[in-house]
Amino acid sequence: MLGFRLHEVVLFHRSSRTLVLTDLCFIIQRSSSTVARLFFRANGMWQRFGPSRMIRRLAVSDHAAFKSSLERVLRWDFERVLPGHGDVIEHGGPAALRAAWPS
């Protein structure tokens, strides 16, 4: 994605209507480690879909380019989102992605 320092790769699998993300969004629902749960909560990744606080603050290098890239992705016909970190969003993927990165 343009405007994103981490060189995010976003893949769209048309036949399954699945969007695959690497670091753009996370959703960690379970962890047996108390330390990990505390880390995930502190970074805004615990039981909510969206970027970590670190990603939100540090990864966007050009807000206009990033917004343009995100809007292009949101025009794709996807339903599911498969984040690189966490659980699959089975339904409502576009709304979840838009809510994760509000304008």
The pLDDT value given to residue 49: 94
- Ramachandran angles phi, psi of 21, nearest 5°: -115, 155
pLDDT per residue as tens digits for the range 32-88? 999 999 998 998 889 999 999 888 888 999 999 999 999 999 999 999 999 988 899
Nearest to 15 by CA among 70, 69, 75, 80: 80
CA distance 46 to 18: 22
- Any bridge partners for residue 46, and if so which? 28
Evaluate if residue 103 carries a pLDDT over 80.
Answer: no
Token pair 């984040």: residue:
83
